[in-house]
Chains A and B, each alone.
Chain A
Amino acid sequence: METFVDSLTSPAFMPHGHCYYWQPDILWSHALADGTIATAYFAIPLVLFYLFAKRRNTHYSWVVALFALFIVGCGITHVMDVVTIWNPLYRLDSLFRIITALASVGTAIALAKITPQLLAIPTAAEWRRHNDELQAANEELRVTNEELVESRHFIHKVMNTIPNSIYLFDLTSYQAIYTNKDLLVILGYSQSEAPTPGPAVMKKLVHPDDSEKRMQYYRDFSTAEDGERREIEFRLRHADGNYRHYLFTNAVFRRNAAGVPDQTIGVSQDITALKQTEENLRNTLHQLREANEELSRTEETLQELNNELEERVEHRTRELAESNERYELVAQATNDAVWDRTYSQRGVRWNRAFEQLFGYLTPEEKAHPTVDAWLQRVHPQDLTAILDLIKHSVATASPVWQVEYRFQRADGRYAYVLGRGVILYGEDRRPRRMLGSLTDITSLKETQLSLLQQNQQLQKINSDLDNFIYLASHDLKQPVVNLEGLLSLLRGNLPAQLAAGNEKLFSFMEASAGRLKRTIYELTEISRIQQEAPPDAEEIAIPPLVDEVWADLAGLVAQAGGRLETDFPVASIHYSARYMRSILYNLLSNALKYRAPERAAVVRVATRLEGDRTRLTVADNGLGLSEQQQSNLFVMFKRLHTHGEGSGVGLYMIKRMVENNGGEISVASREGQGSTFTVYFSNKAGI
């Protein structure tokens, strides 16, 4: 049996060349043309596959495959056309043609089916346009991105640069969830000492008095409008321990789903310096207000003063008018020569006494009195001094001058005058008017000169007297000392018997020499007190000194049966020890010497403080003194009692001592009862 395959290749037909009559031209043209078409048809799928492989498109791969199959089928039909020219394989040819036909139909249907999709594929121009648009959009995006980066950098920089803290505050958790600057850093806390951040930290930082206010501020934000800014000031504790003032400004940043603000954005600003300035301003304002009040008060006072001044000026003007009248009257009445010169006017006015006192004014001078009339008569030796004095007075704006000078009378003799001047100054401090007077003091001056001469003479006499006493005492002392020495020598040299027989005479001689010596000694002492500077003062304890003097007077004490009573509330005194001793010695010895013979002597010594003076009293129960005796008591060489050994110098001497040192001494006494001597020592004096 003939198989299908065999049937396909069975040569039961005549080759196609026969149709061409084997004419080469037609035969070969068909053969070559079909061969070329077949080659081209085989090549097209290859190209399509290449393209497909390069541009893999999953959507349309089956269309490409169908198309390739269809083209290959067409190619095979053309190959079969060439083959059948010589080899009549028409059945195979038909098979291929059927397959090709099916592929063609399938391809056509598929193409028709996808045509709308294919039409939807943009054209190349469209693609290019799209592409261009895309590129432009892309460029736009890039620029926007750059701007965004720049903007972000800017914001970052701003945030870092501004001194203020900008923050987002969460109203739910009551803490800042963003801040450009950490508040703790701003407040100067270092990493180690900073409190842990969070809501609790604000409790530690916010001033306790401000804490509630701050919480209320944030709570109130629930009602805030968008864009509404709210401010609050409160104090935060700086790392240095001081509280600083901050101003916080917040606005709603975000709202929750219910539309209630749940975040705010805020700025904080340190306003401590501002506060300080504000405080200072307030103080300054306060001070200014006070100063202003003070000024108002001063103004009132000034006004009062001004009123008073006006009254006084009025009063003075009245007085001046009266005074001018008085001047005229006085100038006429006085015996002094009075002149009056007003600087703005020529000449000078003299009163009548000028002529009477000095005997003249020439008719010319009377008619036109000038200052020269006065100056020409001043003694040439005194003129410069007067002019200098007036110049000096004017230069120092001194209102008064006074000088003594010699002034010539009509007879040519000079009179001594006391010149006085009163200068009245204008508001410009320049002299406006000068009033002067000349008082004739010739007789006064002469008396004064004679007194001066007498005084000098007296001083000389006094000094001579002092010298005399000094020399006399020295020159007297020498022979007395010699006399004593010689008496003692004589007594030693005389045979014992002779000496014994004249013992009384010797003792008289010695007593006389002793008395003479003591008197000379006391004279010398007085002279010495006059001459010497007060001896140096020192702090003296009074009780022991009194005891010491009392002991020195032991002989007298024994004779008088003396008893000493003391009372020393003031126990020491700043005084010369030598003088104090001398004062006590004299007073105590007098108290014993002039005792009342019928009773034992009682001597009371006491001190008291009286004001700034120390008082010493020595009281006795002795003979006492009559009033007349008391008045002569402190006179030199005045002995009041005939008995006793006094030289009459002691009391005079101590009076000098006391008075020379700013103190005083007095006595109170009743005859037959006793005497009390009181000495006041000045505690202020240098002694």
Chain B
Amino acid sequence: MKKMQSILLVDDDEISNMLTAMKVNELAMTERVAAVTSGQQALDYCIAHCLTPAADSCPDLILLDINMPGMSGFEFLEKLNQLGCPRLPKVVVLTTSSSPRDVERARSLKVTGYIDKPLTPEKLFPLLED
């Protein structure tokens, strides 16, 4: 798999974020991993990094949790789609929720994939193949 410029982890559970970051590093998927703990922070991050014409620092992939206090993963997705980024990052939902309602809603928001925690290459990599 092609190495990515950067990956953004979005999860209110910091331990989860840490474990995911360690896994991403272990898999050597990218040089730069950023982690935020709410939907709002993730949106701010994208505004800061994805709206410039060059948008080099815009993450290639966002691993997004759904159930977060404040702005949920879904709300973040809706706002991200409205931002009008020149290049939209791929979004893979990484969650402990296997509710059909959540799966359906994520699909309607056109995410790249929906996987159950914990992150494993077996679950993630097939989604990233073009």
Question: What is the bound-complex CA distance between A470 and B97, given in angstroms?
Answer: 8
* Interface status of A524 (Cβ within 8 A of chain B): yes
Residue of B nearest to A524 (CB): B98
CB distance from A44 to the nearest CB of B (A): 160
Partner of B19, one of A470, A482, A527, A531: A482
**Within the complex, what minimum Cβ distance (angstroms) separates A522 from chain B?**
12
Inter-chain CA distance A481–B98, complex, in Å, is 14
Smallest distance from the beta carbon of A468 to chain B beta carbons, Å?
Answer: 13
Cα distance, A470 to B101, chains bound together (Å):
11
**Bitwise interface map of A from 457 to 486 toward B, beta carbon under 8 Å scored 1, else 0:** 000000000000011011101100110111
* Residues 6-36 of chain B, each 1 if its beta carbon lies under 8 Å from chain A, else 0: 0000000101100100100000000000000
Distance A527 CA – B101 CA, assembled complex (angstroms): 12
Instruction: Count residues on chain B whose CB falls below 8 Å from chain A CBs.
Output: 15
Interface check B100, CB cutoff 8 A = yes
* Chain B residues closer than 8 Å to A528, beta-carbon distance: 98-100
B19–A489 CB distance below 8 A: yes
Is A486's CB under 8 angstroms from B99's CB?
no
CB distance from A469 to the nearest CB of B (A): 10
Interface residues of A in 248-304 (CB under 8 A from B): none
Inside 8 A of B22's CB, which chain A residues have their CB?
Answer: 489
B100 neighbours in A (Cβ, 8 Å) = 528, 531-533
Chain A contact residues, majority secondary structure = helix
- The answer to whether A477 touches B117, judged by C-beta atoms less than 8 angstroms apart, is yes
Contact digits for B95-106, partner A, Cβ 8 Å, 1 yes 0 no: 111111100000
CA separation between A328 and B16, bound complex, in Å? 82
Beta-carbon contact of A482 and B99 below 8 Å:
no
- Contact among A471, A473, A481, A489 for B117, CB-based, below 8 A: A481
Contact between A478 and B117, CB atoms less than 8 A apart = yes
CB distance from A491 to the nearest CB of B (A): 14
Least CB distance from A285 to B in Å reads 77
- When distances are taken between beta carbons in the complex, the residues of chain B under 8 Å from A473 are 96
The answer to whether B67 and A482 have CB atoms under 8 Å apart is no
Of A478, A486, A527, A531, the residue contacting B96 (CB under 8 A) is: A478
Instruction: Say yes or no: A485 contacts B19, CB within 8 Å.
Output: yes
Cα A474 to Cα B19 with chains together (Å): 17
In the complex, what's the smallest C-beta–C-beta distance from B102 to chain A, in angstroms? 9
| A484–B117 alpha-carbon span in the complex (Å) | 11
**Closest residue of A by beta carbon distance from B22:** A489
| B84 located at the interface, meaning its Cβ lies under 8 Å from any Cβ of chain A in the complex | no
Q: Collect the chain B residues with CB atoms within 8 Å of residue A478's CB.
A: 13, 16, 96, 117
Cα–Cα distance between A527 and B96 once the two chains are bound (Å): 14
Interface positions, chain A 496-555, Cβ under 8 Å from B, are: 524, 527-528, 531-533
CA distance A587 to B56 in the complex (A): 54
Q: Which residues of B contact A485 (CB under 8 A)?
A: 15-16, 19, 118
Q: List residues of chain B with CB within 8 A of the CB of A524.
A: 98
A509 to B67 alpha-carbon distance, docked (Å)? 27
Residues of B within 8 A of A470 (CB): 97, 99
Which of B16, B96, B98, B117 has the most chain A CB atoms inside 10 A of its CB?
B96
The CA of A531 and the CA of B100, in the complex, are separated in Å by 8
Interface string of A175-187 (1 = CB under 8 A from B): 0000000000000
| Distance from A90 Cβ to chain B, minimum over Cβ atoms (Å) | 184
**Cβ of A484 and Cβ of B118 under 8 Å apart?**
yes
Q: Bound complex: CA of A604 vs CA of B96, how far in Å?
A: 37
A486 touching B97, Cβ below 8 Å? no
Report chain A residues within 8 Å CB of B98: 524, 528
B117 touches A474 (CB 8 A): no
Tell me the minimal C-beta distance from A357 to chain B in angstroms.
Answer: 52
State whether A477 touches B96 (Cβ < 8 A). yes
Report the minimal beta-carbon distance from B112 to chain A, rounded to whole angstroms: 21
For residue A475, which residues in chain B have a CB less than 8 angstroms away from its CB?
A: 67
Chain B, Cβ-Cβ closest to A480: B96
What residues of chain A lie closer than 8 Å to B15, measured between beta carbons? 482, 485-486
**Shortest Cβ distance from A533 into B: residue:** B100
Q: Tell me if B67 and A481 are in contact (CB < 8 A).
A: no
Residues of B near A481 (CB, < 8 A) are: 16, 96, 117-118
Report whether B13 and A482 are in contact in the complex, using a CB–CB cutoff of 8 Å: yes
User: Which of A471, A477, A481 has the most CB atoms of chain B within a 10 A radius of its CB?
Assistant: A481
Tell me the minimal C-beta distance from B24 to chain A in angstroms.
Answer: 13
**Is B19 in contact with A486, judged by CB distance below 8 angstroms?**
yes
B21 nearest CB across to chain A (Å): 11
Chain B, residue nearest A477 (CB): B96
Q: How far apart are the CA atoms of A475 and B101 in the complex, in Å?
A: 17
Q: Say whether B101 contacts A531, CB under 8 Å.
A: yes
Question: When each residue 74-117 of chain B gets 1 if its CB lies under 8 Å from chain A and 0 otherwise, what string results?
Answer: 00000000000000000000011111110000000000000001
User: Which of the residues A489, A531, A533 comes within 8 Å of B99, measured between beta carbons?
Assistant: A531
Q: Taking the nearest CB of chain B, how far is it from the CB of A533, in angstroms?
A: 8
The 3 closest A-B pairs by CB, nearest first: A477-B96, A485-B19, A532-B100
Seed contacts A478-B16, A481-B117, A528-B100; 8 additional CB < 8 Å A-B pairs: A473-B96, A478-B13, A478-B96, A482-B19, A485-B118, A486-B15, A531-B100, A531-B101
Give 29 CB contacts A-B under 8 Å. Answer: A471-B67, A473-B96, A474-B67, A474-B96, A474-B97, A475-B67, A478-B13, A478-B16, A478-B117, A481-B16, A481-B117, A481-B118, A482-B13, A482-B15, A482-B16, A482-B19, A484-B118, A485-B16, A485-B19, A486-B19, A489-B19, A489-B22, A524-B98, A527-B99, A528-B99, A528-B100, A531-B101, A532-B100, A533-B100
